[in-house]
Amino acid sequence: MYFADWLVLGAYFVVMIGIGWWAKSRVKNAADFFTAGGKMPWWLAGISHHMSGYSAAVFVAYAAIAYTTGFALYVWWALTITIACLVGSVFFAPRWPRLRQRFGIISPLEYLATRYNLPAQQVLAWSGAALKVFDVAAKWAASAILLNVFAGVPIAVGILIVGGVTLIYSTIGGLWADALTDMGQFIIQSVAGIAMLIFAVAKLGGVSSIAGIWSRLPASHSQPFAGDYTIGFFLAYCLISTISYNGGTWNLAQRFIAAPSGTAARKSVLLSGALYLVWPLVLFFPMWAAPLILPNLTHPDQAYALLTQQLLPVGLVGLVVAGMFSHTMAMTSSDANAISAVVIRDIIPALRGSRRPLTSRAELLGGRISTFLFIGLSMVIALSADSFGGVLGLIILWFGALVGPIAVPMLLGMLRPFRRCGPSAALFSWATGLIVFALAKYALAAPIASLGTASAQTINVAAPVLASAIVYCVFGWLRPWHNEASDALVESLDRDLEPAVSLPVESAVA
């Protein structure tokens, strides 16, 4: 990186902090901090939902998959998320803002105390919040590795730079800052991604190369299912993506909760799904073409970084690096906001017991403090990790296993057909999913591996979620749960609140 690249990257960080400071004026209470007061426009919520689904892994791990496997990456990742968004537009996204409208929730787990009971809510809250710290720490490490590859910046310094900027704007501006910086990051990412596409196409000989590269690549690279990424793997990821992108991943639920109405939330998730359908085609093309530009790479996970250095002129390299960071910063800042909401509205009230609830001002202060501490702790963990893998990678693996088991009672619990699934169903489904993952990954690893790499990956991805869903449904059938408050909650989520109708003056007087 040259001076112009550093100037672009530095300007990006300054703008992100500036947006956070401006957003501070819109935050008056905890509801503003965590849910934008329920006033986030549908288009901003949709773009923020889209941006919060990426991280630096796209430019590292996914670049390696694109280099070695080809188009199958788009099918099992981007296409499954698009399908998930379509499903969510009907069943899940509209219900999140209705929970805020009717019950005043500002945390994605807050309604579970009524839907099930306090112990079930606390188990899901504590397990998800604790492990998410390690997941975010891994994202800092990935970003720092990218900065190290591009500019030789030490890993520790890279973590402090990227994490520190995110810490400042997230702590100051809350969800408004997260969403507005997501918007800025979306614009930067778009410019950077289109620039990479243009220069890659020019390098390959012009517009005709967009279709022509596939005849020059191995035949398997143009197939929708190739290598380990089979139809079974695709179906498994359809399930995982549906669970994750509709609120199972808490920071994405926050985007829906912040929407003004169920209708607005539906439009936002459809916009996000449309972006996932189109934008990865632009983003991944240079990665698909990389074997032609950079043949025989020993480390395919460096493909995108090396492409950037080879193809782009001075200045644009810094913009692309900023675009890479934007993905991770968008995801981690929204993670911090969601976890902070869970801490303030779910965990702390349970620890305080029967004491008087916190005031709105105290909740806002507590939200900022918990956001600061969450990001700070994740940075400390990232700094103490020897590498992106090792023990840190193991914890991330376990967090991935918990996404499904935590999300099953969260999401299915909002739907009327599952209203007889109570606290026992929630707790046993969570425990079963975790046990099945441990058995598949460790105790039964050898027999599962003997089925072949593709089958093994499919089992490891799908088995915990399927087990959780089956146990959840079976418990609801064998031990149906009846609770008036829970039933009323579920039934109230089927439609938006009717707008208040103002009576004519004459009628009111009469």
pLDDT of residue 208: 87
pLDDT of residue 292: 92
Asked if 27 and 364 count as a contact pair (C-beta separation under 8 A), the reply is yes
pLDDT of residue 505: 41
Rounded to whole angstroms, how far apart are CA atoms 107 and 167? 20
Q: Which helix (H) or strand (E) holds 99?
A: helix 95-103
226 by DSSP, 3-state: which? Answer: strand
- Burial class of 203 by CB neighbour count within 10 A (0 to 12, 13 to 18, 19+): middle
Q: DSSP class of residue 269?
A: H
Residue 226's φ and ψ, nearest 5 degrees, are -150, 150
* CA distances for 437 relative to 132, 176, 400, 458, angstroms: 17, 36, 10, 12
pLDDT of residue 386: 57
pLDDT of residue 25: 77
* CA distances for 154 relative to 142, 279, 295, 405, angstroms: 13, 32, 28, 37
Q: What angle do CA 304, 307, 312 make, to 5 degrees?
A: 125
Rounded to whole angstroms, how far apart are CA atoms 368 and 287? 39
Provide the residue type at 311 as one letter.
L
Asked if 433 and 465 count as a contact pair (C-beta separation under 8 A), the reply is yes
Rounded to whole angstroms, how far apart are CA atoms 174 and 168? 10
pLDDT of residue 499: 54
Rounded to whole angstroms, how far apart are CA atoms 466 and 458? 12
Percentage helix, strand, coil for the chain under 3-state DSSP, each rounded to 5:
80, 0, 20
**119 Cβ partners below 8 Å, 6+ apart?**
423, 427
pLDDT of residue 390: 43
* pLDDT, tens only, 66-118: 899 999 999 989 999 999 999 999 999 999 999 999 988 888 999 999 999 99
1 by DSSP, 3-state: which? Answer: coil
pLDDT of residue 392: 44
pLDDT of residue 1: 65
- Burial class of 53 by CB neighbour count within 10 A (0 to 12, 13 to 18, 19+): buried
pLDDT of residue 429: 94
Rounded to whole angstroms, how far apart are CA atoms 43 and 118? 35
Provide the residue type at 105 as one letter.
I
Cβ neighbours around 255 below 10 Å, total: 34
pLDDT of residue 114: 92
Rounded to whole angstroms, how far apart are CA atoms 407 and 413? 9
DSSP 431-466: HHHHHHHHIIIIITHHHHHTT-HHHHHHHHHHHHHH
Asked if 215 and 206 count as a contact pair (C-beta separation under 8 A), the reply is no
- Which residue stretches of the chain have pLDDT < 50? 387-392, 394-396, 500-510
Q: Which two tokens stand for residue 309?
A: 């250095």
* pLDDT, tens only, 120-163: 999 988 888 877 777 777 777 777 777 777 777 787 888 888 78
pLDDT of residue 223: 92
- Burial class of 60 by CB neighbour count within 10 A (0 to 12, 13 to 18, 19+): buried
Rounded to whole angstroms, how far apart are CA atoms 385 and 393? 10
- Burial class of 307 by CB neighbour count within 10 A (0 to 12, 13 to 18, 19+): buried
